[in-house]
């Protein structure tokens, strides 16, 4: 398997299959009020984080790597007056992530070292991909923690798997 295939499979696994599905699972346990309420003035609502993740994926992958026009207005992702429809926010995120998976799948191995400008930083295409994976994971962790905190439940992400299993 070529390195570009490995990277694209890992991107799809971490962001779409794990990340988006975990967000959907958390949201399924919560009311709209719980999703869109900020716990305090220094925190974001789960809904705002979903909108923020969509913006980040669009800017770093679809625009910077894929060449689409960058229309992101990052500050608005955290405002209360933006999208407040959970289903729409999830659908928009899912669509952006699926599109980004296709962009990453379409990359040739030599394109990973190409440099792009993102938010005033010069980054390689590989750096953009790594950034999205880690950024997505970070916010999925926040969403998971807050869901567990609000509902006192186990999300069951690894239900049925023996996580103590070792390689012989």
128-150 tens-digit pLDDT = 999 999 999 999 999 999 999 99
Domains of the chain by start residue, with CATH: 3-151 (1.20.120.450)
What's the residue count for the chain? Answer: 168
User: What pLDDT shows up at residue 73?
Assistant: 87
Mean local confidence (pLDDT), 151-166: 92
pLDDT at 7 over 90: yes
Q: What's the average model confidence in pLDDT over 145-161?
A: 95
What is the predicted pLDDT for the residue at 67? 95
What does the pLDDT look like over 53-110, one tens digit per residue? 999 999 999 999 999 999 998 988 887 756 689 999 999 999 999 999 999 999 999 9
Whole-number mean pLDDT of the chain?
A: 94
Is there a contact between 30 and 147 (Cβ–Cβ < 8 Å)?
Answer: yes
Q: Give the pLDDT confidence score for residue 82 in this predicted structure.
A: 62
Q: Are 115 and 128 in contact (CB under 8 A)?
A: no
pLDDT at residue 75, as a whole number: 86
CA distance 63 to 118: 9
Determine the straight-line distance between the first and last CA of the chain, rounded to whole angstroms.
25
pTM of the prediction? Answer: 0.94
């Amino acid at each position: 398997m070529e390195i570009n295939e490995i990277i694209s499979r890992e991107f799809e696994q971490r962001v779409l299959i794990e990340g988006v599905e975990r967000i959907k699972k958390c949201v399924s346990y919560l009311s709209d009020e719980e999703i869109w309420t900020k716990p305090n003035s220094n925190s974001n609502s789960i809904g705002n984080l979903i909108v923020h993740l969509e913006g980040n994926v669009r800017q770093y992958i679809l625009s910077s790597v894929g060449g689409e026009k960058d229309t992101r207005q990052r500050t608005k992702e955290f405002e209360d007056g933006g999208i407040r429809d959970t289903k729409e926010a999830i659908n928009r995120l899912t669509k952006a992530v699926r599109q980004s998976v296709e962009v990453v799948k379409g990359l040739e191995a030599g394109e990973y070292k190409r440099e792009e400008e993102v938010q005033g930083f010069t980054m390689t295409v590989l750096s953009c991909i790594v950034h999205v994976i880690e950024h997505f994971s970070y916010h999925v962790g926040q969403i998971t923690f807050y869901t567990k905190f609000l509902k006192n439940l186990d999300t069951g992400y690894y239900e049925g798997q023996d996580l103590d299993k070792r390689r012989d």
